[in-house]
């Protein structure tokens, strides 16, 4: 049986989706309207699952029938080929949130996979719960956050995740898996690029009292006029994060083509300790010793470099055009590749290859794509 890795990220209700719960739609369904890039060809069939039992039943039915399967949320971290997807699409639209006090000022939030992520964050903030506020404004569904180990402004899902409920496609059973068994690393987990399981719901441990998590990110601290490491009002932290993201075109707006993207297209590269001196020397020789690349500690002694900094120094400015100007780097943020309204997936991939290869030639650093690529590749 052929499978495709599940992608459960997305930011909004599917445009034009009026299918009743669990209904199977016909063939030749364009997937462009199901992604924030507005790109992608048709699918053979689609089922919208609005209840957990509908979701498990749809996945089990596809597996039993030997069909290729794409599990889809709103598609904010997804690039689909122009030819589309020859197989069954199951769109997650499950809803539900619950808060349970676990003592010592801690509250466990349980959210179904189909819950819009930013709505989950906003509701936690309204409840006066701290922990998720730095992840405000990130497009996607809750089920995608542990798959991708979503992170921003010094906070990652791995800092807060307790467990997930997974549908094991091999056995057809649902099991609860602790966060520690998910291999959560920088923008990665054992669930990513792995079609063996589907996230049904996730649990997060938050703290009451109306205070944010300690502010770690320098840019956010400056915006809040706070010292790094201090805590602030949780609502103030959320608003500051949203303002920063809007300034970078990272909050969805249908009228703004800078947000017709998959967010950051490339992850920040992590360089092994042994390779770092040579890489830094090459960068210094190319751009000058007084323009040191931003770098941050990473797991296993590696060093994380800024992909946006490397892209810009390799000669790709904000707004850099791809084929025919139909795709461009965002005019607000060089990490976002954007559809200007009439693009194809092929256009997007040509621009992505140009940027990736340009950075590699200039600095010897390889950039990896962050979105899931469905039936297409760099």
Query: Among the options 112, 264, 312, 313, which is catalytic?
Result: 264
Placement of tokens 């209904």 in the chain: 23
- The residue that leads in pLDDT, 300 or 259, is 259
Torsion sign, CA atoms 192, 266, 350, 332: positive
Q: What is the DSSP string of 13-73?
A: PPTT--PPTTPEE-S-EE-GGGSTT----EEEEEEEE-SHHHHHHHHHHHHHTT--EEEES
Q: What's the pLDDT at 15?
A: 28
Tell me the β-bridge partners of 164.
177, 202
Pairing of strands 69-72, 85-92: parallel
| pLDDT computed for residue 5 by the predictor | 35
Q: Regarding predicted confidence, which is higher, 113 or 195?
A: 113
User: Which token pair is 220?
Assistant: 């956010």
pLDDT at residue 20 tops 80: no
pLDDT (0 to 100) of residue 289:
83
Specify the number of domains making up the chain: 3
Q: What's the pLDDT at 1?
A: 25
Residues 77 and 107 in one domain: no
In this predicted structure, the answer to whether residue 24 has a pLDDT above a threshold of 90 is: no
CATH number at residue 58: 3.30.43.10
Evaluate whether 307 touches 281 at the Cβ level (below 8 Å).
no
Per annotation, catalytic residue among 50, 68, 169, 187: 187
Percentage with pLDDT > 90 across the chain: 85
Instruction: Collect all residues with Cβ–Cβ distance below 8 Å to 282 and sequence separation of at least 6.
Output: 363, 364
Question: Mean pLDDT across the chain, nearest whole number?
Answer: 91
List pLDDT tens digits, range 304-359: 999 999 999 999 999 999 999 999 999 999 999 999 999 999 999 999 999 999 99
List the structure tokens of 10. 């997305």
- Domain C-terminal end among 247, 278, 301: 247
- Looking at the fold, whether 131 and 167 belong to one and the same domain comes out as yes
Q: Which residue has the higher pLDDT, 3 or 130?
A: 130
What is the b/e burial string over 324-356, where b = at least 16 CB atoms within 10 angstroms of the residue's CB? eebbbbbbbbbbbbbbbeebbbbbbbebbeebb
Q: Tell me if residue 264 is catalytic.
A: yes
pLDDT on residue 25: 53
pLDDT greater than 60 at residue 19: no
Q: Where are the beta strands (DSSP E) in the chain?
A: 24-25, 29-30, 42-49, 69-72, 78-80, 85-92, 97-103, 106-112, 151-152, 155-156, 161-168, 174-178, 197-207, 261-264, 270-271, 295-297, 303-305, 327-329, 336-339, 372-374
Kindly state whether residues 194 and 268 are assigned to the same domain.
Answer: no
Of 222, 247, 272, the position where a domain reaches its end is: 247
Asked if 12 is an active-site residue, the reply is: no
Domain hosting residue 121, numbered range? 97-247
Mean of the pLDDT values across residues 126-145?
Answer: 96
Q: Are residues 235 and 337 in the same domain?
A: no
**Of 215, 247, 279, which one is at a domain's C-terminal end?**
247
Q: Which percentage of the chain shows pLDDT scores above 70? A: 93
Structure confidence at residue 32 (pLDDT):
95
For residue 129, give both structure tokens: 């719960």
Per residue in 218-254, pLDDT (tens digit) is 999 999 999 999 999 999 999 999 999 999 999 999 9
Task: Examine the residue annotation and report whether 133 is marked as an active-site residue of this protein.
Answer: no
pLDDT of 17 reads 39
């Amino acid at each position: 049986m052929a499978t495709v890795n599940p992608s459960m990220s997305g930011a909004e209700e599917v445009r034009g989706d009026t299918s009743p719960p669990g209904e199977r739609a016909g063939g030749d369904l364009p997937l462009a309207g199901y992604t924030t890039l507005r790109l992608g060809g048709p699918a053979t069939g689609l089922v919208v699952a609005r209840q957990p039992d509908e979701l498990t039943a749809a996945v089990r039915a596809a597996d039993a029938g030997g069909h290729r399967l794409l599990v889809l949320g709103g598609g904010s971290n997804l690039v689909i080929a122009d030819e589309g997807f020859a197989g069954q699409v199951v769109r997650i639209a499950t809803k539900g949130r619950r808060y349970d006090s676990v003592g010592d000022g801690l509250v466990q939030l349980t959210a179904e996979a189909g819950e819009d992520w930013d709505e989950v964050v906003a509701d936690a903030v309204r409840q006066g719960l701290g922990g998720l506020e730095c992840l405000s404004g990130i497009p996607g569904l809750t089920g995608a956050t542990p798959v991708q180990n979503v992170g921003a402004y010094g906070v990652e899902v791995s800092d807060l995740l307790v467990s997930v409920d997974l549908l094991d496609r091999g056995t057809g059973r649902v099991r609860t898996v602790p966060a520690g068994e998910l291999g959560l690393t920088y923008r990665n987990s054992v669930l990513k690029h792995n079609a063996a399981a589907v996230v049904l719901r996730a649990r997060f441990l938050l703290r009451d009292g109306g205070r944010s998590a300690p502010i770690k990110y320098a840019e956010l601290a400056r915006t809040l006029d706070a010292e790094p490491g201090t805590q602030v009002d949780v609502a103030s932290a959320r608003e500051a994060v949203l303002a920063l993201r809007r300034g970078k075109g990272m909050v969805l707006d249908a009228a703004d083509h800078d947000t017709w993207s998959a967010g950051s297209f490339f992850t920040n590269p992590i360089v092994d300790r042994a390779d770092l001196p040579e890489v830094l020397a090459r960068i210094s020789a190319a751009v000058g010793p007084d323009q040191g690349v931003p770098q941050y500690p990473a797991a296993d002694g590696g060093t994380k470099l800024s992909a946006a900094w490397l892209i810009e120094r390799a000669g790709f400015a904000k707004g850099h055009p791809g084929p025919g100007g139909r795709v461009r780097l965002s005019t607000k943020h060089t990490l976002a590749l954007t559809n200007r309204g009439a693009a194809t997936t092929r256009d997007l991939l040509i621009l992505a290859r140009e940027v990736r290869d340009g950075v590699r030639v200039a600095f010897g650093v390889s950039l990896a794509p962050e979105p899931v690529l469905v039936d297409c590749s760099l």
